[in-house]
Amino acid sequence: MSMNTMIKKGFCLVFAFCLPLPILALDLNDLRLNWYNELTGYPYDPEVIEIKNKITSLTSVGKKQWDAMIKDSGRSRLWNDLSYGSSADITESYDRLQSMALAYNLDGSDLYRNEQLKSDILSALEWMYMNQYNESTNDSGQNWWDYKIGAPLRLNNVIVLMYDNMPPDLRNKYLLPVFHFCPDVGHYTGANLAWIATVIAVRGIISGNETDVIYARNSLNPLFDYVTQGDGFYEDGSFIQHERHPYTGGYGTSLLATLTDLMILYHGSSIDFSEENRNVVSEWIWRAFEPLVFRGGMMSMVRGREIARSATTDHKRGRSLVQILMRLRYLLPEESSLRIASLVKDWLISDKTFSDYYAYMNSIRAIKETKALIENTDIPVREVYEVYRQFPCMDRAVQHRPTYAVGISMYSSRIYNYENTNRENIRGWHNADGAVYLYTPDQNHYEGNFWVTVNPYRISGTTVAENSTAKAKTLSEKSWVGGVGISGKYGCSGMFYESKDPVVSAKKSWFMFDDELVALGAGITNKSQVNVCTYIDQRKLVSDNRNVFTVDGVKQNALFGSDTAPLNLTGVTWAHLSGKYSGMEVGYYFPESVDLKAIRQQQTGSWRDINEGGSTAVQKDYYLTLWKEHGNCSDDTDSDENRYSYVLIPSCTTSQLKNYCSDPDIKILSNTSSVQAVMEKTLGIVGANFWNNSTSQYVAVDGVPFLYCDKKASVMVREGKNEIEVSVSDPTMLNTDEIMIRLVSLAAGSIIRKDERVTVLSYEPLVLSFNVKDLSGRGLNAVFQKKELSSVERIQTDTVSFDLKYVSEKGDINLSVYSPKEQKALFRVTDMNGRLFVERELSLVSGMENYYLPSKFFSSGCYLLSLILSDRVISKKFIR
């Protein structure tokens, strides 16, 4: 009687999604059964319609491979399409044999326990050992991954599935190449380490080698440590693989999947994973994975060269993550488990790219757990997800709003631009050049053939030389790349972009608020006599090209322009692109009317264009491309050619966009190569990117200085009715000192909360110091009760003001002075009886400047600080 027959007859009551029974001692046979059940999905009821359909599907795959297999005794290959000229054919052969072995083992399959199938699987294993994969195989000139990871992982699984049909000496013989190519975990890191550890663990279970099983478990310990360089997870949620490539949605997801397999394998054994390990994995979910998934789709900007694989789309990768989390959650504490369940349920329900909840589920276990989760009405979907996250250690930023999400993809002196290993992602030239990924309810935008048909020279958000390419695995010479968030929901990012060939430079900033993204560019120059363009958007349209594109109220034609002769649009203030359905629209607002170029056309390409192993079949999609030309400006004269500004407003109707443009929520405060700043009036937020170290740089609101910053920094200030919130980061990661922020028109009362590294230098006006040393770009935050200014008036542009930054124990004074012009002044410190302690003459500069005044010690007490000008005296009390 089969296991599933027993379940159907009531002899065994087991939750469909339960964990394997605890193994109190290290019983290798029980571990093998754990692995076998993970592969097959046992226990299950094959009469449940969703499971029955999956069994049929898996059987069909196995039968297809079996039917196509060459079975002649004198065969020179197993399948006609595999010549074994590439090591990938070895991995593929074992993958097909695994499909056949799975069909053989599935109760409910037409091939269940089929004797001829069993014979052909065993015969094929022998052929592979004799001809392609043995301890004498020469792997020279081939891909190491196939020999050490791809082939042995699948071979181990086939042996586990066919274990009872193979004598021990045969099993051990087929494992000889696994021992040969994987003697230990070597120097590998990240996902590669997890994969090789899995190879060794399962090999040890099959061969009865307990030492291997324990060694594999212990070799995984480094994966649970947050790294500060190289491969692995970072505390800010970044994940890096291949030294400097962002890969959360590729290798990061594979690492999580493999660790989940092993955590289930070792569950309850004497070498089970610790509670601390489990807590770290739980942190990864919220820090690293959740922010990078929108409605079930993993964002392209963290999938690396996987975007060039036709079989792996954003939503398919997201569905893989769903399956991982549904298994992982049972290993975590109840609170985390329930939170994951709500998250996964939300992704399943909101993902409209699949025909049903069970599509692209790769196992029966996933089908069982999905069905149980969807039918469990006690588990709610996740609440509306609103978040801004900066990933400084991988040069990415993301914001989620109720109806859309935005991703910013950058690179720097720390992170590579793109990867094209194995000739995949051949045209990823500009995918991290400040690319903007806008996700709307049109979930098909980045799906299908997007990466085949999109024009790789014109990636949305980038400012690049026209028709230029870039060498892969390249670092920028610029370190200013990063940003900061505020209130957990809003943020600003910036990138000092510079390409080497041709030489193009630009200061690029993005400000993400409640319903808009403001994009600013300044200092745009080139030294190579080429035309530079900023690509505002390259939007894939509905398959029947039904989208309506309107510019300043004028509906445009369904097709217009070409690559060599784009349409000229002059004096544009706004544009609107409708979607397939309501909520899928995109609005474009230009605070300064601008001349644009535009093309609306059908674009073609093939997967072979971006992946040497891809299909040559021609794919077609319609696109709208909108851009601004900057021409050939070798110098920054702060002219229109040196800058741009635009606002993306997703999910808005034409009338809503027109209303917004007539009274915009945002105001650009500065857009120069020194400072880029924006105010969101309805939120009371000012965001600013300071590109230089200077004590005289500031942001003014309505001509009045508002925010001073003395170092390179990304800054956000929120002025609420009763609160003041300030966030600061050092995007360069090079500052070994502090960043001083001076809010000259704001005063604070008590501290509500602040990071320890934030020091209050003055409450009235509010002056703060942020110690950013060794923070790797992470932001610091402080929140205060708001107070009306009393003893210090709000500064006007023509008014001199000063603040005492600090007085040392010796009595030395550090003074900050703002002056609208160069002039002489006298600074004095007296006690309340008029006795003079300090007197220094100052040569004031135009703007903000710090002055260090050596002085003699003066004791504690109340003093009067006076700045004496030719026409006035400014005084303040100071208590020492």
- Measured in degrees and rounded to the nearest 5, phi and psi for residue 322 equal -55, -45
Q: Are strands 245-246 and 239-241 parallel, antiparallel or unpaired?
A: antiparallel
> CB of 864 within 8 A of CB of 833?
no
Burial class for 471, CB neighbours closer than 10 Å (0-12, 13-18, 19+):
exposed
Residue positions counted in the chain: 880
Tokens, residue 603? 């674009």
Q: HEC string of 137-191?
A: CCCCCCCHHHHHHHHHHHHHHHHHHCHHHCCHHHHHHHHHHHHHHCCCCCCCCHH
> CB of 738 within 8 A of CB of 713?
no
> CB of 405 within 8 A of CB of 397?
no
Query: Could you please report the per-residue DSSP string of 317-366?
Result: HHHHHHHHHHHHGGGS-HHHHHHHHHHHHHHHHH--SSSSTTTT--SHHH
Distance separating alpha carbons of residues 210 and 221, to the nearest angstrom: 18
Q: Are strands 481-486 and 847-853 parallel, antiparallel or unpaired?
A: unpaired
Q: 147, 251, 266, 360: which one is catalytic? A: 251
Tokens, residue 48? 């449940």
188 catalytic per annotation: no
Distance separating alpha carbons of residues 307 and 431, to the nearest angstrom: 11
| Strand order through the sheet with 758-763 | 698-701, 704-709, 738-743, 766-771, 758-763
> Residue 583: left (phi > 0), alpha (psi -120 to 50), or beta?
left
Closest CA to 314 of 293, 342, 341, 285: 293
Distance separating alpha carbons of residues 450 and 444, to the nearest angstrom: 9
DSSP 214: H
Q: Buried b vs exposed e over 279-299: b needs ≥16 C-beta within 10 Å?
A: ebbbebbebbbbbbbbbbbbb
Tokens, residue 204? 């040890």
Bridge partners, residue 586, by sequence = 577, 650
The residue to which tokens 């392609």 are assigned: 132
> CB of 489 within 8 A of CB of 510?
no
Tokens, residue 703? 């001509």
- Measured in degrees and rounded to the nearest 5, phi and psi for residue 311 equal -85, -5
Distance separating alpha carbons of residues 307 and 609, to the nearest angstrom: 13
- Measured in degrees and rounded to the nearest 5, phi and psi for residue 330 equal -75, -10
Distance separating alpha carbons of residues 172 and 658, to the nearest angstrom: 73
Q: Which residues are known to be catalytic?
A: 251
